[in-house]
């Protein structure tokens, strides 16, 4: 009993110590918008370029929601000097009267309070996007400067903020016959560091987003103006809230880069735009806009002769890169409807089996856009995936009925679609037979790795690297210079097959591609498994010439089309070997560009420079005094044309040593744009590729 008493006493003492060190004072309470500045990634997905542009999306989405509700038809976005952005619309204008709960202006409440806005119940919006109604306040929190200007009820009102905190109360500054909202903001450099400490908005990224939104919202005109380099005083009035504003800058004689987006055809126009580089297999684009079970379902689709599908998914006009329940419902209805039609019209026999999802998606371009009320659910803060269960059933029902009618009423289109899908089914079966043959052969050989692969010793994929090098010469050097424990080498002979227009069965007939697939260990097609990846760094190391660039492009096309998950996982890298070896006495330096070479060499007498016969002469070198030149050591410059020209030690020091090398990680920031470029440059259609080459010929810097 005494021992238990002592034990209880000891626990009481320890508990007392814990209580002493853990009190209410230890609980952190972040007030106002502090949580946003503390954890910005939770609200905008990150603080790099993607998060930076997300600020524009959030303010723009508020203006777009006004248009979706029928209250606005014009939005203007201006990129201003000093890293500022101005977004204006001709909507109703944010209310400025006193809010009953916060006891301050509704404008101040919206701009400085999380989860405040017209999207949380009430009659503000029937359908809306935005970031759960926190968009404006989040942008305000992450801006060093923000200004809100509102025109409504015959007045002009404004309020300014810094890092989410107001500078003064909302103030009326005059009369106005206009209506709308103007938000100007400057991202805080303490939060964003996108390019060497600079804020850098990308015109193409913004333009592509606005073009997409103009397709999705009928009768909405979007104007984008780039005034970043304009040194004069920009106009302070009429912006955005006047629907003639798109012409206003021209009236003032300002020649600024601009773009305006307005599409009468809506989703049909978006499908045509997406398929502009492809050959459609049927004439009429299918289209439906129907409300079912409280969900507005709008879908447009067309098949092309491509082998990859293009699915663009939107919920309340928010792009769902990871798709979601609406796309699941669409796919189910598409497969079911096409199988029913094929059997009913005897396009397939019972022995042929049914179309699979893979068959019916090949070559399909489709836009699936649904709109629903406040009960909409997303997975992830940035809404990459729709999670609303009711969207699946509503989409399946609305699309299935309409598409079945379309096939019956358009027999020529239906026949072309059937022929396309039957060809895809036959190709799938042939590819499966070829793949099974490859895998069976591998199994019979005990899954032996390719003979040319010099594998690494470790079995830990996270620390393993696979260098894909160009040819046996570079392969031999890399094998001698590598770290055998973690680095594997796979030399490829010549240029691999262009897989952009090759089906899986033909692709697996390529020895080079087959070696790479077996080396990675993931398999391919429907049996692909990222968990079986043997290397978490695949490093493409090709020569710094035209052929090397072409080989690199072919390899990247292979990964984009057949191993997209490997790309998305961040496992693909491009090696950056040096272009020059520069020797000054006993000192050796490496230069990765002409500019870096010139900086290392400096301004010396040209007579003091020795250049290898295959090397390039140093540009822009000025003579020094004769006396100083005599004291200088001669500079020897070697120009590397390929990795095979390096010895093993040089290759290790410059390209393979993790402590010193430079690698570029390959990412796909805009999948749609990447898909378009790969299809144009690597596909079978010659005119688009010719036009691209002619347009960009002067930009090329070729080292032949």
Token readout for 349 is: 């026999």
Give the residue carrying structure tokens 């990459």.
Answer: 384
Between CA 30 and CA 27 the distance in angstroms is 10
Residue 112, C-beta contacts closer than 8 angstroms, at least 6 positions apart: 32, 33, 137, 140, 161, 164, 165, 166
Grouping H, G, I as helix, E, B as strand and the rest as coil, residue 639 is: strand
- For the annotated catalytic residues, the residue numbers are 470, 543, 545, 547
- Angstrom distance (rounded) from CA 333 to CA 343: 16
Structure tokens given for 644: 């095979």
- State the pairing for strand pair 143-152/74-80: unpaired
**Angle, helix 511-520 to helix 411-444, in steps of 10 degrees:** 70
For 366-384, give one letter per residue: b (16+ CB within 10 A) or e: bbbbbbbeeebbbeeebbb
Residue 57 CB: number of other CB atoms within 10 A? 23
CA 396 – CA 332 distance, rounded (Å): 7
Write the DSSP string, 10-75: HHHHHHHHHHHHSSGGGS----TTHHHHH-THHHHS-SSHHHHHHHHHHHHHHHHHHHHTTS--EE
Question: Dihedral of CA 561/566/569/572: which sign?
Answer: negative
Q: Please, are residues 239 and 245 in contact by the beta-carbon 8 Å criterion?
A: yes
End-to-end CA distance of the chain: 92
Q: Which residues contact 111 (CB under 8 A, 6 or more apart)?
A: 136, 137, 140, 146, 148, 159, 161, 166
Contact 533, 461 (CB under 8 A): yes
């Amino acid at each position: 009993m005494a021992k238990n008493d002592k034990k209880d006493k000891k626990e009481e003492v320890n508990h007392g110590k814990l209580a002493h060190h853990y009190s209410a004072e230890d609980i952190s309470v972040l007030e106002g918008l502090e949580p946003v500045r503390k954890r910005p990634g939770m609200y905008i997905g990150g603080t790099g370029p993607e998060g930076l542009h997300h600020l524009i999306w959030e303010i723009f989405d508020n203006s777009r929601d006004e248009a979706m509700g029928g209250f606005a038809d014009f939005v203007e976005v201006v990129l201003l000097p000093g890293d500022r952005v101005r977004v204006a619309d001709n909507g109703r204008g944010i209310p400025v009267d006193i809010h009953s709960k916060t006891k301050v202006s509704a404008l101040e409440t919206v701009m400085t309070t999380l989860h405040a806005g017209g999207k949380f119940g009430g009659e503000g919006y029937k359908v809306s996007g935005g970031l759960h109604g926190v968009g404006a306040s989040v942008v305000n929190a992450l801006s060093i400067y923000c200004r809100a200007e509102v025109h409504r009820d015959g007045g002009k009102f404004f309020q300014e903020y810094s890092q989410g905190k107001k500078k003064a109360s909302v103030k009326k500054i005059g009369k106005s016959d206009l209506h709308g909202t103007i938000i100007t903001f400057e991202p805080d450099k303490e939060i964003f560091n996108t390019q060497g400490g600079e804020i850098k908005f990308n015109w193409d990224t913004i333009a592509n987003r606005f073009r997409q939104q103009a397709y999705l919202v009928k009768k909405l005109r979007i104007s984008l103006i780039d005034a970043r380099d304009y040194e004069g005083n920009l106009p302070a009035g009429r912006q955005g809230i006047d629907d003639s504003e798109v012409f206003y800058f021209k009236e003032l004689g300002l020649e600024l880069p601009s773009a305006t987006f307005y599409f009468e055809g809506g989703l049909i126009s978006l499908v045509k735009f997406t398929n502009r580089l492809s050959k459609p297999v049927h004439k009429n684009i299918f289209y439906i806009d129907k409300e079912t079970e409280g969900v507005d379902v709008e879908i447009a689709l067309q098949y092309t002769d491509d082998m990859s599908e293009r699915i663009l998914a939107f919920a309340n006009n928010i792009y769902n890169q990871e798709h979601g329940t609406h796309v699941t419902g669409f796919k189910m209805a598409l497969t079911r409807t096409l199988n029913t039609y094929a059997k009913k019209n005897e396009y397939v026999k019972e022995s042929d089996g049914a179309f699979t999802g893979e068959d019916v998606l090949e070559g399909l371009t489709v836009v699936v856009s649904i709109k629903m009320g406040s009960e909409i659910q997303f997975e992830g803060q940035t809404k990459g995936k729709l999670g609303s269960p009711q969207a699946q059933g509503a989409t399946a029902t609305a699309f299935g009925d309409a598409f079945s009618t379309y096939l019956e009423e358009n027999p020529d289109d239906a026949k072309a679609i059937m022929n396309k899908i039957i060809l895809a089914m036959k190709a799938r079966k042939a590819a499966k037979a070829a793949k099974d043959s490859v895998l069976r052969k591998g199994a019979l050989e005990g899954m032996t790795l390719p003979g040319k692969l010099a594998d690494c010793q470790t079995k830990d994929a996270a620390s393993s690297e696979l260098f894909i090098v160009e040819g046996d010469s570079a392969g031999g050097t890399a094998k001698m210079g590598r770290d055998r424990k973690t680095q594997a080498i796979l030399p490829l002979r010549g240029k691999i097959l262009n897989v952009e227009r090759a089906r899986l069965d033909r692709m697996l007939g390529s020895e080079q591609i087959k070696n790479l697939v077996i080396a990675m260990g993931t398999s391919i097609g429907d049996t692909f498994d990222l968990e079986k990846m043997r290397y978490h760094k695949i490093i493409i190391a090709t020569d710094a010439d035209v052929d090397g660039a072409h080989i690199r492009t072919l390899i990247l096309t292979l990964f984009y089309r057949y191993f997209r998950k490997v790309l998305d996982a961040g496992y693909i890298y491009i090696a950056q070997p040096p272009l020059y070896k520069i020797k000054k006495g006993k000192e050796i330096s490496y230069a990765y560009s002409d500019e870096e070479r010139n900086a290392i060499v400096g301004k010396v007498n040209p007579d003091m420079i020795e250049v290898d016969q295959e090397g390039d002469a140093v540009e822009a070198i000025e003579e020094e005094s004769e006396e100083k030149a005599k004291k200088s050591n001669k500079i020897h410059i070697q120009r590397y044309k390929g990795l095979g020209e390096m010895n093993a030690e040089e290759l290790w020091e410059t390209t393979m040593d993790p402590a010193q090398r430079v690698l570029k990680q390959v990412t796909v920031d805009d999948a749609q744009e990447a898909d378009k470029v790969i299809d144009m440059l690597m596909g079978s259609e010659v005119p688009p590729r010719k036009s691209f080459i002619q347009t960009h010929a002067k930009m090329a810097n070729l080292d032949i």
